[in-house]
Amino acid sequence: MERKVFGLLTALLLIAGNAMAQASGLVDEWAMGRVYLASGDSVMGKITYHRSEDLIKITKTDGTVAAYAPVTVRGFEAVEKDGRFRRVFVTQRWNMGNDYSDFLAPAFFEQIVFGNYGLLRRETMTRRDVSRDAMYRGGYSPYGYPMANRPYYVEQRVDSYFILLPSGKVKELRNVKKDLETIYGKKKGQMKAYIKQNKLRYTHLPDLAKIVAYFGSISASDVKST
């Protein structure tokens, strides 16, 4: 009976994921990856990540397909097409953007920086009116249609960044620079000097990763003492 219920749940997850992913457009695929389950087991195969629904689908080497929600997964890693590096995703509990709620739910995050302070990322989709952009104003849309001073919306991916605190809490960085400077505390001056000396920008992901990693390294003794 339990197997039938699990099979039905998996099928429903796959159907819902496919339908909603087509609408959201936030779907990533990797030809090879590994999913680490909460049970301690792991599964290898092709990974399809439906970001908006926080659902991963894996096509195993034997051709069977399974779907997993964050509650059943510790994390997963995916190998990029060139095979030279991997992307790591972890399951963390957070308030889903509601700072006034104590309810925490599991969700997938891409982990950019590991250490005392971790840098996490999630991607969402937004609609932006590009009719006012200089390259389109008074001209034509990307598909060759006259703009005629009418709004023209395109879907764009947007990165949202989070800091994983030593306590295990996930904090969203709504204003990356301002929020991180608050977290720096007494090390704010040291961080500012490091960022200026190395000409780092909060708006550039490789630079942001260096900033968070450096802050984690100089905070190691503080984290251990607490």
Q: How far apart are CA 31 and CA 14, in angstroms?
A: 18
Which DSSP state fits 194? H
Q: How far apart are CA 135 and CA 122, in angstroms?
A: 29
**Phi, psi (degrees; rounded to nearest 5) at 170:** -100, 120
Residues 6+ apart with CB under 8 A from 70: 54, 91, 105, 106, 107, 108
Bridge partners (DSSP) of residue 162 are: 120, 172
Q: What is the pLDDT of residue 84?
A: 72
**Phi, psi (degrees; rounded to nearest 5) at 167:** -75, -10
Cβ burial of 45 (10 Å; 0-12, 13-18, 19+) is buried
- DSSP letters, 44-98, are EEEEEEETTTTEEEEEETTS-EEEE-GGGEEEEEEE-TTSS-EEEEEEEEE-TT-
Structural domains of the chain ordered from first start: 1-84 (2.30.30.100)
Of 28, 85, 23, 22, the C-alpha closest to 51 is 28
61 within 8 A of 76, measured Cβ to Cβ: no
Question: Across the 226 residues of the chain, what is the mean pLDDT of every consecutive 10-residue run?
Answer: 38 38 68 95 96 94 95 95 84 92 94 96 80 59 58 80 96 97 96 98 98 95 60
Of 58, 68, 9, 69, the C-alpha closest to 34 is 58
Give the length of the chain. Answer: 226
187 within 8 A of 215, measured Cβ to Cβ: yes
The C-alpha angle 91, 124, 106, rounded to 5 degrees, equals 20
